[in-house]
């Protein structure tokens, strides 16, 4: 029997996939009968996440046309930059990325993470603004580059999904010690804390525990070969798109800009002080072998002094798509709490009793807060308030807030206390990215993926 040696859950999954394949064959055959002059599309992969709930996820089909649509502008860009590009290798990397996007989407649905069209539009408009273009001009620019707008919106949706998965699944697991914060602070020397480097990368994954010695050596040999080519003037984008096992390979290996503390320590120590154009590696980490190139450097001016406020708040949440009556109920509730505080209820007791924020156990205490750490509406309010004054209700994306500023202070911006929150967030973000990549690898290993 075809499925004779499979366990029952795999048998069920295999049968479901067989049905999907059969139906997809009928679908494409039907299309061919209707339009015999058009070439047949074909299924190149079937993806189904591991079933860890009562509802079996529906297997999803990936077609050759989807791969070609995503690969076409990338291959065109690489051709304009020059150098030899193996189209088949690029298409394989594109297929791998589409598979991962489908798995992330399935996992987001399982965790009830929903991304609305308005959120995607908001990120689209933000990307346009970053490029100093109106949304209409940005649309035209994308089309001139040969990018499919629907595909670009799907990419933005996937970026939002990834950020939500990190926030919901990964960041709660991340801890940062005081020693780690001090280590990053010492690496800055208390100066030039705004120094940034723009990095490109080729990542070669290597499974030392489960791979034969000759396979491990082959990966190391490939790493040395790629380093020689880069140092000899080869194009990073061309090599990354063909060889990198990281999703950044489809962006020419571009990792973006980093400050100190945002990279893994073993990478930062070797790369951060190098001049533009330098190539470093292979640097071994738990993810594999990293080949890195410094694309650019920039230094930002550091303020001499930093204003901070010590603040408490009470939050009454409002659903993201609240009905008018829900909005009104939340506002009435926060107004009632404000009246109780004005009549003598201690603010911290009101926070413990009513606040729907995780800080309620500490009486709404958010500690010392500097600029750039809170949403704009909240930040604008707290820095305009005098200590001891109870705020009027403040509306943010989270809901309605009451705020009380307890103290103000001005600190040397390069001191550890002034930089602590920022450095902690840098280290936490770096750890979260590493953990997320590991989590994605595990997700891929658990998933059912049939390549055709």
Residue 282 preceded by cis peptide, ω within 30: yes
131 contacts 179 by C-beta, under 8 angstroms? no
Residues 263 and 212 in one domain: yes
pLDDT tops 80 at residue 51: no
Given 90, 118, 137, which residue is the final one in a domain? Answer: 90
Residues 271, 183 within the same domain: yes
pLDDT surpassing 50 at residue 36: no
Cα 181 from Cα 425, distance rounded (Å): 9
Tell me the three state secondary structure of residue 85: coil
Tokens of 394: 């403040």
Residue 31 falls in which region: left (phi positive, over 0), alpha (psi -120 to 50) or beta: alpha
- Rounded CA-CA distance 430/441 in Å is 17
3-state secondary structure of 56: coil
Question: Does pLDDT of 381 surpass 80?
Answer: yes
Q: Check residue 329 and give its pLDDT.
A: 92
By the 8 A CB rule, do 419 and 19 touch?
no
Lowest-confidence range among 14-18, 67-71, 245-249, 448-452?
14-18
Shared-domain flag, residues 317 and 267: no
Question: Lowest mean pLDDT: which of 20-24, 82-86, 212-216?
Answer: 20-24
| 360 and 388, same domain (yes or no) | yes
CA atoms within 13 A on the CB side of 252: 21
Under the banding of pLDDT at 50, 70 and 90, the label for residue 341 is very high
Q: Which helix (H) or strand (E) holds 295?
A: strand 288-298
The CATH number assigned to the domain holding 293 equals 3.10.50.40
- Do 205 and 265 lie in one domain? The reply is yes
User: At residue 302, does pLDDT exceed 70?
Assistant: no
Same domain, 378 and 364: yes
What is the rounded average pLDDT of the residues 5-10? 34
Is it the case that residue 383 has pLDDT exceeding 70? yes
| Segment 403-416, tens digit of pLDDT | 999 999 887 777 78
Query: Which contiguous run of DSSP H or E holds residue 431?
Result: helix 416-446
The pLDDT, as a whole number, for residue 208 is 66
pLDDT of residue 49: 59
- How far, in Å, CA of 357 to CA of 315, rounded? 6
What per-residue confidence (pLDDT) applies to 1? 30
CA distances from 64 to 42, 46, 87, 98, 344 (A): 6, 12, 14, 11, 68
Residues 360 and 330 in one domain: yes
For residue 31, the model assigns a pLDDT of: 41
Residues 284 and 425 in one domain: yes
Q: Does residue 33 register a pLDDT over 60? A: no
Residue 430 lies in a domain: yes
Other CB atoms closer than 10 Å to residue 298's CB: what's the count? 10
In a domain, 164, yes or no: no
- Which of 436 and 89 is assigned the larger pLDDT? 436
Task: Tell me how many domains the chain contains.
Answer: 3
Q: Where are the alpha helices (DSSP H) in 35-86?
A: 64-81
pLDDT of residue 422: 80
Contact 407, 387 (CB under 8 A): yes
The band of 10, judged by pLDDT with boundaries at 50, 70 and 90, is: very low
The pTM assigned to this predicted structure is 0.68
In a domain, 110, yes or no: no
| Over residues 241-253, mean pLDDT | 87
Query: Both 407 and 439 in a single domain?
Result: no
In a domain, 163, yes or no: no
As a whole number, the mean pLDDT across the chain is: 82
> Domain range spanning residue 36?
1-90
pLDDT at 69 over 90: no
Domain final residue, candidates 38, 70, 90: 90
> Are 298 and 309 part of one and the same domain?
no
Chain centroid offset of residue 310 CA: 30
Q: Does residue 132 sit within a domain?
A: no
The tokens for 153 are 């919106």
Going by pLDDT thresholds of 50, 70 and 90, the confidence category of residue 417 is confident
175-185 tens-digit pLDDT: 999 999 988 88
Stretch among 8-12, 102-106, 227-231, 327-331 having the lowest mean pLDDT? 8-12
Please report the pLDDT score of residue 225 as a whole number: 94
Least confident of 39-53, 117-131, 137-151, 341-355: 39-53
Residue 13 and residue 68 share a domain: yes
Residue with more model confidence, 127 or 9: 127
- 243 located within any domain: yes
In this prediction, residue 247 carries a pLDDT of 85
- 237 in a domain, yes or no? yes
**Cα torsion angle, 85, 86, 87, 91, sign:** negative
Kindly report, residue by residue over 115-153, the tens digit of the pLDDT. Answer: 888 888 888 888 888 888 998 999 998 888 878 888 889
Q: Answer for the pair 386, 380: CB distance below 8 angstroms, yes or no.
A: no
Question: Are residue 181 and residue 285 in the same domain, yes or no?
Answer: yes
Does pLDDT of 27 surpass 50?
Answer: no
Please tell me whether residue 83 adopts helix, strand or coil conformation: coil
Last residue of a domain, which of 75, 90, 105?
90
Is residue 272 in some structural domain?
Answer: yes
Q: Is the pLDDT of residue 12 over 70?
A: no
Confidence (pLDDT) at 228: 94
Helices (H), 50-177: 64-81, 87-110, 117-130, 135-144, 149-165
Of the candidates 150, 160, 144, the residue with the CA atom closest to the CA atom of residue 69:
150
């Amino acid at each position: 029997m075809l499925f004779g040696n499979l366990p029952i859950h795999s048998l069920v999954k295999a049968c479901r996939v067989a049905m999907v394949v059969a139906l997809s064959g009928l679908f494409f055959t039907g299309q061919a009968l209707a339009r015999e002059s058009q070439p047949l599309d074909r299924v190149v992969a079937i993806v189904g996440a591991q079933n860890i709930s009562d509802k079996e996820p529906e297997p999803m089909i990936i077609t050759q046309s989807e791969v070609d649509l995503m690969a076409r502008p990338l291959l065109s860009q690489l051709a304009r930059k020059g150098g030899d590009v193996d189209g088949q290798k690029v298409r394989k990397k594109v297929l791998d990325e589409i598979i991962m996007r489908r798995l992330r989407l399935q996992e987001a649905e399982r965790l009830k993470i929903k991304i609305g069209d308005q959120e995607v539009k908001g990120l689209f408009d933000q990307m346009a603004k970053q490029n100093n273009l109106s949304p209409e001009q940005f649309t035209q620019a994308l089309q001139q580059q040969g990018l499919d707008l629907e595909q670009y919106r799907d990419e933005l949706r996937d970026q939002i999904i990834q950020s939500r998965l990190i926030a919901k699944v990964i960041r709660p697991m991340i801890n940062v010690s005081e020693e780690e914060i001090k280590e990053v602070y010492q690496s800055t020397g208390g100066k030039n804390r705004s120094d940034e480097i723009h990095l490109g990368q080729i990542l070669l994954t290597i499974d030392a525990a489960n791979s034969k010695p000759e396979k491990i050596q082959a990966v190391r040999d490939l790493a040395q070969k790629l380093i020689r080519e880069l140092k000899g003037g080869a194009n990073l984008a061309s090599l990354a798109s063909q060889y990198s096992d990281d999703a950044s390979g489809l962006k020419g290996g571009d990792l973006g800009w980093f400050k100190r503390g945002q990279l893994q320590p073993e990478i930062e120590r070797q790369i951060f002080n190098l001049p533009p154009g330098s190539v470093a590696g292979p640097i071994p980490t738990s993810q594999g072998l990293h080949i890195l190139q410094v694309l650019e450097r920039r230094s930002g001016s550091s303020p001499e002094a930093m204003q901070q406020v010590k603040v408490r708040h009470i939050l009454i949440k409002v659903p993201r798509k609240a009905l008018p009556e829900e909005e009104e109920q939340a506002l009435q509730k926060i107004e009632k709490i404000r009246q109780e505080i004005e009549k003598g209820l201690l603010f911290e007791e009101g926070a413990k009793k009513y606040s729907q924020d995780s800080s309620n156990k500490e009486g709404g205490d958010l500690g010392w807060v500097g600029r750039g750490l809170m949403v704009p509406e909240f930040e604008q309010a707290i820095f305009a308030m005098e200590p001891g004054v109870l705020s009027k209700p403040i509306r943010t994306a989270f809901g309605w807030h009451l705020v009380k500023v307890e103290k103000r202070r001005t600190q040397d911006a390069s001191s550890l206390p002034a930089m602590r929150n920022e450095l902690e967030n840098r280290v936490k973000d770096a750890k979260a990215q590493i953990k997320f990549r590991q989590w994605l690898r595990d997700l891929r290993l658990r998933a059912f993926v049939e390549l055709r």
